[in-house]
Structure 1
Amino acid sequence: MKTRARLEGYDLIGDVHGCGATLAALLEKLGYHQRGGVYRHPRRRVIFLGDLIDRGPRIRLAVRIARRMVEEGEAHIVMGNHEVNALAYCHPAPGGLGRDWLREHSPRHNRIIMETLEQYRDHPQEWEDALAWFMDIPLCLERDGLRVVHACWDQPLIDELRLARPDACIDRNFLVDSATPGTRAFRILDRLTRGIHIPLPAGMAIHSGDGYTRRSFRAHFWAEAPCTWGDVVFQPDNLPGELEQRSLSSDERAMLSHYGVDQPPLFIGHYWCEGVPALPAPNIACLDYSAVKFGRLVAYRWSGERRLDADNFTWLSVPREEQTRPRPWEIDLD
């Protein structure tokens, strides 16, 4: 029997968003090679940070690569908010919610998932299989000295989740409960996969570069003693006017989590960073660098260090050619 070499570490990969061809190229750059339709490395494993789907041109390829690696023990994955959205969008709502689906089929929600549904349109069983697989993806991961979550590590909520779900996975009852704001399931799913959102003042909005209008901003969770909105804002869009100098209210402070520098290394995605990958804190790496907006698909090569090192980032810029529709061999990996 052939035995595996000793595991040297993990390669954590940020939000792919359907950039499947770039994902394959990044894996090759990291030393993974395809055998039997699965990307493998003799001494390392991948951890995907979620958001495999939506927006990009090779969504089926991205899901196929990640799923096969996970099922073959070559990778782990945590759930992103886009997988959560897809599950809720495709799940009928029970009576009493006042809508047909857990996630309303509004123009905005339709637009977000449109590309995914279009690419799976002629492959309905493959889409059903993908949705079933999403249900098996944990919301967070802690192993070998590192932690992984898509958006925000909130220890009290994670402890609450693990009391009921030791594997950190959801089930259909949890998904249904999460459709109602204020429920335990909603609080856990929203915080871990979407992070902290602070509402803007009435009448103010952020007109984002991706075409959406937002009335809140994304806040991070590692500032030691934040005083102003500028101390916690974490997104590529600037706050309107002078709002960076606005003081955090007591209610807004209560919304914030805090992840201290004494905690284990943490890897997140979700936040649409731009530019050259950098560390927002000595023990935190964000790996979402706007791949689907022709940014970078980013990995961090972790080999056990407690203090992270920006030299361990590896990435590929996403070329315009990524928008070309995939050829059959890119989908059928065998």
Structure 2
Amino acid sequence: MTIRSESEGYDLIGDVHGCGAALAALLEKLGYHQREGVYRHPRRKAIFLGDLIDRGPRIRLAVNIARRMVEAGEAQIVMGNHEYNALAYCRRAVSGSGREWLREHSPRHNRIIKETLEQYRDHPAEWDEALNWFMEMPLFLEFEGFRVVHACWDRALIDEFRRHYPDGRMSDAFLQQSIVPGSFAFKVLDRLTRGSHIPLPDDVEIHSGDGFTRRSFRAHFWARNPRTYGDVVFQPDNLPGDLELRPLSDEERARLSYYGPDEPPLFIGHYWCEGIPALPAPNIACLDYSAVKFGRLVAYRWSGESRLDANHFVWIRVPHDELARPRPWEIDFD
């Protein structure tokens, strides 16, 4: 389903990751003002690219700002991998599956969701409501003139998914099936919310800036004929040694999606870029600039253009004292 625009334009907002006060400040900078507990703009709407939760100091605030805007018709949102992870972490597996939870409660997974669960600990009903809302999030949005997905637009997977779920929202059964490696549901959630990953050689690992050890790297999907790892790597962590020169195998190339230059503008998050926001391709904008690591919370102001313009990025720097004290513009939800 293609959505017709009913506003003068859209403000697309990247991964918030619990920087709720910074989100309020960015919305104010964009001309949204709070009325009756909802941030509104007289002529524009917002679109959130997912990953509202985890890691940051004001997760409940971030979720409530976005949720109130969506429910009031002032914004839309797509699901990020962290919303999907939370759903799987908190959902019991069906009987006979051999596991208790859809997402294993391992030390690594516990660490990722730790801040979220702690901030909702005294608000269990609110957390249940948030999880129910996450289930309502579409995995992608297609408008007249542009597209939105958290990590990767894979046309074949999206077209097949849309045949079964025209509104772009998964069902409970689809969520249950998504933990089965190789299943269609697994492929859809993995590709659309996490993007492409290329495994590193057996003896190589990346010690990432977020404290995790990774044995794969994130690859982008807009190189027409990529030949080496360096042609597709898209993450702030450098590949060890001379791995950027390593040729891609036929199997690795076959696993990559491709979004060509003639496709409509596409907005993604997920890849924790750094520095001044820039366009990785003329028709693609990544809006995740590591806000929760005291980077930038970034928006793109789209007003109908078919060719994206880096001058349309708007951002605020996330201050280190985001952790220290409440902000005067915070909404009191308690």
Q: Give the Cα–Cα distance (whole angstroms) in 1 for the partners of residues 243 and 41 of structure 2.
A: 47
1:211 is matched with 211
Q: After superposition, what is the alpha-carbon deviation per residue over 1:56-90, rounded to whole angstroms, capped at 9, x for unaligned?
A: 00000000000000000000000000000000000
Counterpart residue type for residue 21 of structure 1: A
8 Å CA contact 1:177–1:186 kept in 2: the answer is: yes
State the secondary structure of the residue aligned to 1:330: coil
What TM-score, normalized by structure 2, do the two folds share? 0.96
What pairs with 1:243-262 in structure 2 (closer than 5 Å)?
Answer: 243-262=243-262
State the secondary structure of the residue aligned to 1:10: strand
Q: Give the Cα–Cα distance (whole angstroms) in 1 for the partners of residues 148 and 262 of structure 2.
A: 16
8 Å CA contact 1:78–1:138 kept in 2: the answer is: yes
1:28 is matched with 28
Q: Displacement, 1:331?
A: 4.5
Cα gap change, 1:46 to 1:285, in 2 (>3 Å): same
Q: Displacement, 1:321?
A: 1.5
Q: Give the Cα–Cα distance (whole angstroms) in 2 for the partners of residues 243 and 142 of structure 1.
A: 36
What pairs with 1:254-333 in structure 2 (closer than 5 Å)?
Answer: 254-324=254-324, 326=326, 330-332=330-332
1:193 is matched with 193
Q: After superposition, what is the alpha-carbon deviation per residue over 1:18-55, rounded to whole angstroms, capped at 9, x for unaligned?
A: 00000000000000000000000011000000000000
Q: Give the Cα–Cα distance (whole angstroms) in 2 for the partners of residues 23 and 307 of structure 1.
A: 26
2:164 is matched with 164
Counterpart residue type for residue 129 of structure 1: E
Counterpart residue type for residue 194 of structure 1: R
Q: Displacement, 1:171?
A: 1.3
Q: CA RMSD in A?
A: 1.3
1:80 is matched with 80
1:99 is matched with 99
Q: After superposition, what is the alpha-carbon deviation per residue over 1:121-160, rounded to whole angstroms, capped at 9, x for unaligned?
A: 0000000000000000000000131100000000000001
8 Å CA contact 2:12–2:302 kept in 1: the answer is: yes
Q: Displacement, 1:320?
A: 1.1
Q: Displacement, 1:114?
A: 0.3
1:118 is matched with 118
Q: Displacement, 1:325?
A: 5.4
State the secondary structure of the residue aligned to 1:230: helix
Structure 1 gaps of 5+ residues are: 1-5
Q: After superposition, what is the alpha-carbon deviation per residue over 1:193-214, rounded to whole angstroms, capped at 9, x for unaligned?
A: 0000000000210000110000
Counterpart residue type for residue 241 of structure 2: G
Divergent runs of 4+, >4 A: 325-329
8 Å CA contact 1:224–1:258 kept in 2: the answer is: yes
Q: Displacement, 1:327?
A: 7.2
What TM-score, normalized by structure 1, do the two folds share? 0.96
Counterpart residue type for residue 155 of structure 2: Q
8 Å CA contact 2:196–2:255 kept in 1: the answer is: yes
Q: Give the Cα–Cα distance (whole angstroms) in 2 for the partners of residues 329 and 218 of structure 1.
A: 36
Size of the alignment, in residue pairs? Answer: 329
8 Å CA contact 2:198–2:252 kept in 1: the answer is: yes
8 Å CA contact 1:60–1:331 kept in 2: the answer is: no
Q: After superposition, what is the alpha-carbon deviation per residue over 1:228-264, rounded to whole angstroms, capped at 9, x for unaligned?
A: 0000000000011111000010000100111001000
Q: Give the Cα–Cα distance (whole angstroms) in 2 for the partners of residues 202 and 100 of structure 1.
A: 30
Structure 2 gaps of 5+ residues are: 1-5
Cα gap change, 1:297 to 1:328, in 2 (>3 Å): closer
Q: Give the Cα–Cα distance (whole angstroms) in 2 for the partners of residues 332 and 180 of structure 1.
A: 41
Q: Give the Cα–Cα distance (whole angstroms) in 2 for the partners of residues 22 and 276 of structure 1.
A: 17
Q: Give the Cα–Cα distance (whole angstroms) in 1 for the partners of residues 295 and 328 of structure 2.
A: 25
8 Å CA contact 1:295–1:317 kept in 2: the answer is: yes
Task: Give aligned-pair identity as a percent.
Answer: 76
1:139 is matched with 139
